[in-house]
């Protein structure tokens, strides 16, 4: 089957290249400190200024202060320890996906489109120095000033890769982000796991 002139493949970072949506074992931290399931995620991302931070509308320190305030309000007796555990957590990669990226490298332009805080490039250089060179395009929302599901971020990625949207593939663990990419003409798939994504790629003729 022809690959429909696919020339670029874009990946979300958290939840696709990282094992969890932000690389942190939320359930483990919640169990360790006796927190309600999913409460850590709410304090860090919903009850804080994270949405401002991921498009560069507040500073990192302002976001951290807002997380601390959310934790002080919810778990005042454990706020400091929980905050420390979150920021010191490991961020393990999905090694199956890393292997896939290595196999695709050189045959397609590869890219990352991530909703994340400013400074993604610096963090990648620090945490995955042996992998960063595999990605031709690296877009972090906090640096770009726009975030998924804004169609502009997908069009920007295609432009940087020098391809038309319909010549590219995108996968994300958030269904609405995959839908947004599909809306600009990309071949887009909701990421549910390595095996499924390999099948998704093969369905459009990309040998993975």
What is the reported pLDDT for 196?
98
Hey, is 130 helix, strand or coil?
coil
Return the percentage of the chain with pLDDT > 90, whole number. 92
Kindly report the average pLDDT of the chain as a whole number: 95
Q: Which residues touch 73 (CB under 8 Å, ≥6 apart)?
A: 47
The predicted structure's pLDDT at residue 3: 56
Mean pLDDT of 35-41: 96
Task: Sort strands 109-114 and 8-11 into parallel, antiparallel or unpaired.
Answer: parallel
Check if the beta carbon of residue 62 is closer than 8 Å to that of residue 85: no
Domain ranges of the chain: 8-21+91-203, 26-87
Grade residue 23 by pLDDT with cuts at 50, 70 and 90.
confident
Judge whether residue 4 has pLDDT over 80.
Answer: no
Helix (H) or strand (E) holding 67: helix 60-74
| % of residues, the chain, pLDDT over 70 | 98
Checking if the pLDDT of 24 tops 90, the result is: yes
Fold assignment, 8-21+91-203: Rossmann fold (3.40.50)
pLDDT at 2 over 70: no
Taking residues 58-78, what's their average pLDDT?
96
Q: Are 107 and 9 a contacting pair, CB within 8 Å? A: no
- Angle between helix axes 26-33 and 79-87 (nearest 10 degrees) is 150
Helix or strand run (H / E) with residue 33: helix 26-33
Residues 77-128 pLDDT 10s: 999 999 999 999 998 999 999 999 999 999 999 999 999 989 999 999 998 9
How sure is the predictor about 1, in pLDDT bands with cuts at 50, 70 and 90?
A: very low
Give the pLDDT of residue 127.
Answer: 87
Averaged pLDDT for residues 40-54:
95
Across the range 177-196, mean pLDDT stands at 98
DSSP 136: S
């Amino acid at each position: 089957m022809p690959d429909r002139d696919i020339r670029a493949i874009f990946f979300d970072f958290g939840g696709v290249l990282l094992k969890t949506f932000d690389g942190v074992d939320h359930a483990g931290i919640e169990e360790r400190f006796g927190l309600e399931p999913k409460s850590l995620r709410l304090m860090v991302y919903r009850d804080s200024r994270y949405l401002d931070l991921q498009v560069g509308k507040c500073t990192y320190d302002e976001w951290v202060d807002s997380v601390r305030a959310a934790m002080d309000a919810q778990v005042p007796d454990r706020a400091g320890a929980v905050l420390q555990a979150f920021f010191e957590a490991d961020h393990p990669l999905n090694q199956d996906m890393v292997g896939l990226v290595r196999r695709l490298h050189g045959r397609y332009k590869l890219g990352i489109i991530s909703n994340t805080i400013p400074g993604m490039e610096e963090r990648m250089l620090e945490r995955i120095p042996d992998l960063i060179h595999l990605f031709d395009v690296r877009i972090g929302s906090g640096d770009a000033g726009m975030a998924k599901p804004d169609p502009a971020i997908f069009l920007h990625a295609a432009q940087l890769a020098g391809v038309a949207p319909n010549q590219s593939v995108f996968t994300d663990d958030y269904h609405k982000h995959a839908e947004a990419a599909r809306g600009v003409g990309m071949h887009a798939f909701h990421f549910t796991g390595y095996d499924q994504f390999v099948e998704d790629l093969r369905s459009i003729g990309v040998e993975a």
